[in-house]
Amino acid sequence: MTEASSLPLRNPRTGAHDGDLPITPAAEVAALGQQLRQAQQGWEQQSIEQRCACLSALADALASRREAFMQVLLDDTGRWHESAIEVDGTIAAIRRWAAQAPAVLAEKPAQAEAIGFISSQQTWVAYPVVGIISPWNFPLMLTLIDAVPALAAGCSILAKPSEVTSRFVPLLREALAEAGLGEVFKLVTGAGATGQAVIEASDQICFTGSVATGRKVGEACARRFIPASLELGGKDPALVLSDANIDNAARALAWGSFVNGGQSCMSIERVYVEAPVAEAFTAALVREVSALTLNCEDPAQGQIGPVIAASQVELVRGQLADAKARGARALTGGELVERGGVWCPPTVLVDVDDSMAVVRDESFASVLPVIVVKDEAEAVARANATEFGLSAAVFCGDAQRAERIARQLHAGGISINDACLTGMVQTAEKQSFKLSGMGGSRMGTASIRRFVRARALLINNGTASPWWFPPAA
């Protein structure tokens, strides 16, 4: 049997197969890796200012194709407002790196060491080929989020976006070529086998995706002794304390749980609310969520887009059926809507418990279970009783109490009196805890240090070292 040379593309709004995605053969991925390894040598020798000038040109090339990028993202994801946020946010992030990277990687003068006649010079050496394997929920942003600082650091890039959402690839290739980056940034397309070929051809991997695939990627990288940055799934909790501003909490969580149809790693997927305000909070949440509408008719109207990946539909259906069979009640939504594509109406669930899949496992959909707790201690304990540790949110009227609670949560990014700030603020360092990931911070200027190895030049000023063997007679 001959291997398939393409994969069908599914439009999430219609459910129709309306295109084909070529599969880059493994041998071609390997050859591209070799080409990149060659090209990277000249790239790293350029000054960081020259490399950042190319990044600014990339931002310009994306900006001049803004509408075209939004259209291909719409075709792959079925949502419009988030596509605008994605394109504009990506352009802004590239411009920020172009401005900041030179100072972050600037070499300092040689330093005196504790041993008086020795000084040291710290230098950085880029990893030649950084492989990027990215998911389908923010296709463009998550393909570039690590690639851009890696390019600034002097690496070349071999990227494989998700097979579900690769329609932007030809357009990005065009923009890269226009920015003078075509030789140091190659994109390949395909599914898991292509991802494995990327790992084989790279010197470091940045993977964003599920825990299950992340484990396979981490193991493959470990076999090759190459570093892996793994940014994986979550089941982010929000804690609503009895002194919280209830209306703000409800509005923030309606956004933080349902933006992008809940298909964001940092989506709030569980709420623990203190009993005294549970009724008022739930009523406010239902009020806010009831105002959200599906974008079935017109992608630019309505806040909730379709379920992007066909593979998600049965997972969400199964979680909802399991929860309802075990006594959960949907105060809004609760049933998937099929119009060719499939929409998950924003669903607030009550009468749930921690043993239900919808509370325990990642949903990655617009489903939000609300759980009443007796006090702060129970809220913290139940929020932490998960294998994930991506991010969380605390709503509390007392700033000191909020901070004290936030410091007890086992997650890398905690929003206080807001939700999902880790998606909007990319300048504060954070790492993933537990199964949500591994590796250095993707956020903040320190993120760029993941792409260089530290090399120390240790310099003797001409003094005979006292530890040498006695001079030969």
Site for ligand NDP in 2-21 (CB under 6 A): none
Q: Is 149 an interacting residue with respect to ligand NDP (CB under 6 A)? A: no
Identify the burial level of 325 via C-beta atoms within 10 angstroms of its C-beta, where 0-12 means exposed, 13-18 middle and 19 or more buried. Answer: exposed
Whether residue 174 lies in the annotated active site = no
> Which are the contacts of 88, defined by CB distance < 8 A and separation ≥ 6?
66
Residue 338, SS3 per DSSP: strand
Q: Is 362 an interacting residue with respect to ligand NDP (CB under 6 A)? A: yes
Tell me the CB-side half-sphere exposure of residue 292, using CA atoms within 13 A. 29
Q: Is 216 an interacting residue with respect to ligand NDP (CB under 6 A)? A: yes
Q: Among 426, 436, 438, 433, which Cα is nearest to 412's?
A: 433
Which residue number, 75 or 163, has a Cβ lying nearer to ligand NDP?
A: 163
Q: Is 146 an interacting residue with respect to ligand NDP (CB under 6 A)? A: no
Taking the C-alpha atoms of residue 340 and residue 64, their distance in angstroms, rounded to an integer, is: 33
Q: Which of these segments, 25-33, 161-169, 379-387, 406-414, binds ligand NDP (CB under 6 A)?
A: 161-169
Structure tokens at 312: 């998600």
> Which are the contacts of 163, defined by CB distance < 8 A and separation ≥ 6?
7, 21, 189, 190, 191
Q: Is 134 an interacting residue with respect to ligand NDP (CB under 6 A)? A: yes
Taking the C-alpha atoms of residue 197 and residue 195, their distance in angstroms, rounded to an integer, is: 5
Spot the catalytic one: 44, 86, 163, 231.
231
Report helix, strand and coil shares of the chain as percent, to nearest 5: 45, 20, 35
The CB-of-7 to ligand NDP minimum distance in angstroms stands at 8
Task: Please state the separation of Cα 316 from the chain's center in Å.
Answer: 21
Q: Is 441 an interacting residue with respect to ligand NDP (CB under 6 A)? A: no
Q: Which of these segments, 101-109, 120-128, 133-141, 271-279, binds ligand NDP (CB under 6 A)?
A: 133-141
- Could you tell me if 384 and 404 are in contact, meaning their C-beta atoms sit under 8 angstroms apart? no
Q: Is 265 an interacting residue with respect to ligand NDP (CB under 6 A)? A: yes
Q: Is 135 an interacting residue with respect to ligand NDP (CB under 6 A)? A: yes
The CB-of-160 to ligand NDP minimum distance in angstroms stands at 6
Q: Is 164 an interacting residue with respect to ligand NDP (CB under 6 A)? A: yes
Which residue number, 136 or 395, has a Cβ lying nearer to ligand NDP?
A: 136
The CB-of-140 to ligand NDP minimum distance in angstroms stands at 12
Site for ligand NDP in 19-78 (CB under 6 A): none
The residue ranges that bind ligand NDP (CB under 6 A) are: 133-137, 142, 160, 162-164, 191-192, 195-196, 208-210, 213, 216-217, 231-234, 265, 309, 362, 364, 390, 437
Catalytic residues, by residue number, are 231
